[in-house]
Amino acid sequence: MTDAVGRDPEAVSKFVEGFAAQLVEAGMQRMPARVFAALLSSDAGTMTSAELGEQLRISPAAVSGAVRYLAQTHMVSREREPGSRRERYRVHGDQWYEALTNREAVLQRWEIALREGVDSLGPDTPAGRRMAETLAFFEFVETEVAAMMERWRVHRRQLFGD
């Protein structure tokens, strides 16, 4: 049995659940992982709550909670259907870029807190040195991520245009 474009729905479902399981192993919550994998594997990259619920066999409340999490982490966006109150949820081709880029603000907040920790604990104490090393690590990561993201933009343009 195949769908309108010749895919086996069972194989697609198996992929969605398998990829979701990998995301869960990496730390993502189970339901957002399933919703994300379903959106990622859809040709349009968009689905309604009803479509997600039907495909994944989950309740509207489960879809809502998963989408809320995914929107907060910048992995999906919400869009209103023109002339309707119904929302569609979209995954973009550059969602990994967006999700990683939006982590920079989190890193910056951690750096501020760590600087305060170093000042509070004293830079010459064991705890202060540990805090300073953690701060140095996050500063290094932030710099490297920024440079890597610029290289990705160039590489993506070469591969896919835009």
**Confidence at residue 106, expressed as pLDDT on a 0 to 100 scale:** 79
Q: What is the DSSP letter of 94?
A: T
Secondary structure (3-state) at 88: strand
Mean pLDDT value across the chain: 89
Helix axes 30-41, 60-72, angle to 10 degrees: 80
pLDDT above 70: residue 5: no
